[in-house]
Amino acid sequence: MGSISRAAKRAANLKASSVWDVHHEALRRAREGRPVTVLSVGEPDAETVGGVDEAGIAAIRSGAGRVYGDAGGQLELRQLISQKYEKDYGLQIDPRRVLVTAGAQNALFQTMLTVLDEGTEIVIPDPCYVTYEPTVVASGGTVVPLPLRADDSFRITAEAVEKKITKKTRGVLINSPNNPTGAIVSEQDLNQLSELCRTRDLWLISDEVYSDFVFDDKKHIPAAGIAESQESTITINSTSKMFSMVGWRVGWAIVPERLINPMMAVSEGMLFGLSRISEAAALKAFSVDNDFQALRAEYSARFRVVFDNLQGVPGIVPRKIGGGMFALVDISGTGMSATEFAWKLLNDFDVSVLPADSFGEAASGHVRISLTKSRETLKTAVEKLAKCAADARAATRVDGQVAVVGKNDKYGSVLVCRDRLDSSAQQWYTNVFDLIRENGAGVLRVKEWPCEDVSDVTAAVVWNPPPGLLASLPKLRMVQVLGAGLDGIMQFVSELDERVMVCRLVDPIAVERMANYVLAAAMDHVRHRAYTRECQQRTKWDTGVGPESISSTTVGLLGLGEMGRAAGELLARAGFDVLGWSRSRRIPDDDLFGIRKRFVGGKDQLSELLSSSDVVVCLLPLTIETQGIIDKSVLGKMKTGSSFVNCARGAHVVLNDLLEALNSGKLRSAVLDVFEEEPLPKESPLWKHPKVILTPHIAGYAGEASAANTVVENLSRLARGEKPLFTVNVKSSNYQLTDFD
């Protein structure tokens, strides 16, 4: 079959989600008469507001089904929607800016088709509703996920969003209250997001379909209420939740005046008018006084039933919410994935919930519970959920201790080795080890080295293990190194079986901190930081040296792993010209955001980067081939007056060659965070060198909690029979070329 008759790429690129499989199976069983409690979809159980159904029937009888509707909706309906904003929030919304759509999903799709060009990007918080991405992809765009943290109440901040903005970014999509987390964007955060979008010429798209479901002392702040940002804000809402009108499919978008005609054109091409029948029902809904306060109180009470009855259940952590129609529950402590748990709950207890994995990485290990049933029904359902959790934990026990998940009948113990740790970071390692024990409780069986019995150890967590330790573990399958580099275990590679997986620690907090450090170091060059610091020490007032242009400053990155790529993107957003050099092309060019040109290969390719860069940054892994790579020959190829930054390992640099380059004037300055001997000896000439800026190995300092969570996740993956993250084949003769950049 030829390519013409195949599905278009934009359709083929849409990812089919299995998120609804459990829900559809629950509905099938319910149709067969089985007593299934369906908590896997957000269909309100409240009666549709008074007179709506009758208004729809009257419209049918009056012939509304025989005529086309208006593309943007009847003016009367748009006026009523505008009046709701005036009544609820005191806002004056021009009815012409209210465009009625076939539901909020249709409003979102029309919005994306209107504001996105092929290849552009939208920043969307993770977790988010599962249908967001398809509307972006089908419109030619790309979703840039912004991971949110449960321990920070899934808060979205302008600072975090700004780090995701590139030249391709067209907007930010937020959802408050959020589905599935129930998080509410605060007034302060909304104002800052709005200001960011306004100043960066981006769209702020606010999905507010749960705006009437805000609990307790919380309040919903409409994005449309920020007067200064009217021209950059699009609000999306719907009658589905507030009026229990899911099936009528009536939503709307509030858009700036300049988008009215373009979006009307999209609507005409997509729908050619709305259903007059649905519009008649919506007109009635907006004309009736509705007791949203009672509705909010009821949903808040339902959430308390779920939360209170799951508090303290082993393996279960209910998340607090600010509003919405759902409760998000962490079930990772049961030893099952969210999908496995949801199927077990349906099969064994006739309750359906939604696995939240498809809502984003940040929702992994969670299930979403709909609050659209009575308190009594919810109480019974969560009691069954607690029993399901107990059964799941019992099914994954080994010798009385929870150890494994999924394909785990042969899973053994995790050996934690605190020996031979870096003295300069002793407390950090100690805290991380303690957190691994704490966070892994209920999932992992942990042993502490030294111990007598290591016969069942399948995973070891180490930094610089004692000689012979790894060789003494007959069932070893994985070594988790507590560092981004592997220099602590390279001398023990010969001890490892070919099948043993070695995993680096790539911590998101460390990656972010490293990128920030590199940006600051590049700014040190632009602002002549080493020289001005020397002038300060000498009480010298020199106005002859001013800041240089960022846009004309080229930064060359040696190493394009996770930290190198993050640094490159941040530098590019700040306006620097960025080059990169890597040993291999393992990372696709499309993933190198902000890096203008990439050089791949040996030192011949490195030469061009060195001669073109004003700042050279070393972010390479320490291997046999990269040890001492920054020597006289490399430094000699750098531009005269350039700066060198080392955030990788001290052994990359031949110190005497670096000092010679600094003393001769070849280099303007050096920013050094790592040293061959740490702590740096007091007699080192680097301490008092006027052209050197020192920091005590803090550039990419990993967060203790996030590092421990990453390790526990990797150990859990091993237990489930899944491939751990950030594995490296250290036994391969060319691993430097295939696993590192």
Determine how many CB atoms are found less than 10 A away from the CB of residue 718: 24
Radius of gyration (C-alpha) of the chain in whole angstroms: 29
Query: What is the C-alpha separation between 604 and 620, in angstroms, rounded?
Result: 17
Query: What is the C-alpha separation between 303 and 327, in angstroms, rounded?
Result: 7
Measuring CA to CA, how many Å separate 719 from each of 265, 445, 630? 53, 11, 41
| N-term to C-term CA, the chain | 41
Residue 158, judged by CB atoms within 10 A of its CB (0-12, 13-18, 19+), counts as: middle
Q: Is 697 a catalytic residue?
A: yes
> Do residues 304 and 360 lie in contact, with contact meaning Cβ atoms separated by under 8 Å?
no
Residue 323 is classified by DSSP as B
At which residue do the structure tokens 């809502």 appear?
Answer: 359
Measuring CA to CA, how many Å separate 722 from each of 345, 394, 406, 680, 706? 23, 21, 9, 41, 20
> Do residues 308 and 327 lie in contact, with contact meaning Cβ atoms separated by under 8 Å?
no
Query: What is the C-alpha separation between 356 and 10, in angstroms, rounded?
Result: 25
Token pair in block for residue 587: 């990372």
> Do residues 449 and 415 lie in contact, with contact meaning Cβ atoms separated by under 8 Å?
yes
Selecting among 170, 393, 598, 697, the annotated active-site residue is 697
The number of angstroms, rounded, from the C-alpha of 41 to the middle of its chain's C-alpha atoms is 24
Pairing state of beta strands 351-352 and 37-38? parallel
Measuring CA to CA, how many Å separate 522 from each of 508, 605, 643? 21, 22, 8
Q: Which of 704, 699, 725 is nearest to 713 (CA)?
A: 725
Selecting among 649, 652, 689, 720, the annotated active-site residue is 649
Angle between helices 562-574 and 508-526 (to 10 degrees): 40
Query: What is the C-alpha separation between 298 and 194, in angstroms, rounded?
Result: 32
Largest CA distance in the chain: 94
86: Cβ contacts below 8 Å, ≥ 6 apart: 92, 93
Query: What is the C-alpha separation between 41 and 571, in angstroms, rounded?
Result: 43
Query: What is the C-alpha separation between 357 and 368, in angstroms, rounded?
Result: 10
Helices (H), 248-314: 260-270, 276-287, 292-310
Give the active site residues: 649, 697
